[in-house]
């Protein structure tokens, strides 16, 4: 029975990691493609896509709780009532990551409208740096000198990629607009890296501070996200929505972007539960290599030597950061405790 459980858990662990690599590569490519190729004469509104994604994620979470806890629809209603309506303090706490993730998801569209997929992927790795900093300050985790060294390598690698100026064919523009766009994309991705680090650590602190199940936590975070995402549509794009409709510019590809991002949020949750953040970071490294290669074919992305050098430093730093610091036996005990 225990062997069966071990095999079952290992299958979920490696299966979810494989899915995460596929999801990360797929998302960055379809999102970039959807922001650079207009299909119905109009570009879709990013804020509405984020809202649709939050709605889809919320429904999927409800489905998982329903299925996992084997509840009747009435019991599911009671569970939601207890954890949402009857827990205003908990809900208030979760509004923080909920708000930041919604901002982050909007920023990612802005970044991928203005930056090519490969540059975006490498720059977004800075979230390792922000995660480490917030883990040290908010969770009081000690960060070893190897880890700090790897973070310095990461920052240098990211700076080199930024200086390389490598871009795909959609950013080539002689009017100087390209530089301006690149700056907007750069600021967006840097802000997203900060919110990603903070929200990840904040969520982990809440998750480990009580025994409320992960999926219930996701529902508590998901509900404010849906409301905040709707408010963002109103604040940012209400005029366009009134004039052209909520689903202006939507094509099957846009629904595909929304679905891949929604499912991705849930895969992140499973990976953190069954594997750990270290393996998640490894998956990101793999996805950078894959998306660079695919970008060369799909977007005519031409990396120069500086880009390749910088990207190699970023991958090296990820591997350095993820190296376990304790001996294997102690490591096994540490994992068993988690």
Least distance to ligand C5P, CB of residue 57, Å: 6
- Is the Cβ–Cβ distance between 121 and 314 less than 8 Å? no
- Is the Cβ–Cβ distance between 314 and 128 less than 8 Å? no
- Of 51 and 203, which has the nearer Cβ to ligand C5P? 203
Nearest residue to ligand C5P, scored by beta-carbon proximity = 265
| One-character DSSP codes across 36-67 | H--SSSSPPPHHHHHHHHHHHHHHHHHHHHHH
Least distance to ligand C5P, CB of residue 193, Å: 8
Q: Quick one: which of 16, 114, 166, 196 contacts ligand C5P (CB under 6 A)?
A: 196
Least distance to ligand C5P, CB of residue 72, Å: 26
Q: Quick one: which of 198, 203, 286, 301 contacts ligand C5P (CB under 6 A)?
A: 203
Under the criterion CB under 6 A, does residue 212 sit at the interface with ligand C5P? no
Q: Is the dihedral of CA 10, 1, 68, 89 positive or negative?
A: negative
Under the criterion CB under 6 A, does residue 198 sit at the interface with ligand C5P? no
- Of 170 and 317, which has the nearer Cβ to ligand C5P? 317
Distance, in Å, from the CA atom of 189 to the CA atom of 192, rounded to the nearest integer, reads 5
Least distance to ligand C5P, CB of residue 80, Å: 17
Site for ligand C5P (CB under 6 A): how many residues? 10
Under the criterion CB under 6 A, does residue 101 sit at the interface with ligand C5P? yes
- Of 218 and 295, which has the nearer Cβ to ligand C5P? 218
Q: Quick one: which of 218, 220, 232, 322 contacts ligand C5P (CB under 6 A)?
A: 218
List the structure tokens of 174. 């002689």
- Of 170 and 260, which has the nearer Cβ to ligand C5P? 260
In whole angstroms, how far apart are CA 208 and each of 120, 123, 169, 204?
A: 31, 29, 45, 6
Least distance to ligand C5P, CB of residue 311, Å: 18
Which residue blocks in the chain are alpha helix, DSSP H?
2-36, 46-68, 73-80, 88-114, 117-124, 127-138, 145-164, 177-208, 214-244, 252-274, 277-298, 305-322, 328-337
Q: Quick one: which of 25, 49, 269, 283 contacts ligand C5P (CB under 6 A)?
A: 269
Under the criterion CB under 6 A, does residue 62 sit at the interface with ligand C5P? no
Rg for the chain, CA atoms, rounded? 21
Under the criterion CB under 6 A, does residue 265 sit at the interface with ligand C5P? yes
Under the criterion CB under 6 A, does residue 105 sit at the interface with ligand C5P? yes
Least distance to ligand C5P, CB of residue 265, Å: 3
| One-character DSSP codes across 109-134 | HHHHHHS-HHHHHHHHTTHHHHHHHH
Under the criterion CB under 6 A, does residue 200 sit at the interface with ligand C5P? yes
Which residue's entry shows tokens 């090519």?
116
Q: Quick one: which of 21, 44, 47, 57 contacts ligand C5P (CB under 6 A)?
A: 57
- Of 161 and 189, which has the nearer Cβ to ligand C5P? 189
- Is the Cβ–Cβ distance between 39 and 304 less than 8 Å? no
Distance, in Å, from the CA atom of 248 to the CA atom of 237, rounded to the nearest integer, reads 11
Contact footprint for ligand C5P (CB under 6 A): 57, 101, 105, 196, 200, 203, 218, 265, 268-269
């Amino acid at each position: 029975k225990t062997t069966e459980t071990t095999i079952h858990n290992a299958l979920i662990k490696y299966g979810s990691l494989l899915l995460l690599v596929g999801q990360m590569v797929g998302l960055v490519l379809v999102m970039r493609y959807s922001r650079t190729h207009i299909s119905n004469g109009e570009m879709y509104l990013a804020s509405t896509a984020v809202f649709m994604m939050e709605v889809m994620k919320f429904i999927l979470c409800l489905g998982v709780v329903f299925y996992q806890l084997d509840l009747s629809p009435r019991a599911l209603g009671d569970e939601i009532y207890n954890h949402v309506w009857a827990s205003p303090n908990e809900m208030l706490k979760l509004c923080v990551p909920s708000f930041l993730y919604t901002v982050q998801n909007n920023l990612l569209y802005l970044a991928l409208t203005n930056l090519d997929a490969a540059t975006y992927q490498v720059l977004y790795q800075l979230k390792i740096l922000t995660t480490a900093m917030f883990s040290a300050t908010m969770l009081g985790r000690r960060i070893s000198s190897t880890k700090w060294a790897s973070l310095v390598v990461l920052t240098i690698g990211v700076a080199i990629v930024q200086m390389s100026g490598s871009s795909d064919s959609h950013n080539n523009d002689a009017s100087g607009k390209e530089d301006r766009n690149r700056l907007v994309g750069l600021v967006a991705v840097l802000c997203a890296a900060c919110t990603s680090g903070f929200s990840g650590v904040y969520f982990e602190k809440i998750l480990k501070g009580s025994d409320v199940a992960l999926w219930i936590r996701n529902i508590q975070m998901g509900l404010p996200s849906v409301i905040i995402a709707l408010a963002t549509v109103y604040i940012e794009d209400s005029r366009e929505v009134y004039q052209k409709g909520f689903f202006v510019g939507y094509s099957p590809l846009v629904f595909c972007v929304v679905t891949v991002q929604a499912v991705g949020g849930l895969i992140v949750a499973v990976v953190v539960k069954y594997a750990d953040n270290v393996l998640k970071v490894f998956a990101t490294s793999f996805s950078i290599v894959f998306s660079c290669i695919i970008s060369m074919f799909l977007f005519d992305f031409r990396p120069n030597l500086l880009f390749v050098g910088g990207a190699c430093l970023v991958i090296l730093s990820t591997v350095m950061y993820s190296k376990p610091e304790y001996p294997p036996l102690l490591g096994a005990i540490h994992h068993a405790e988690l």
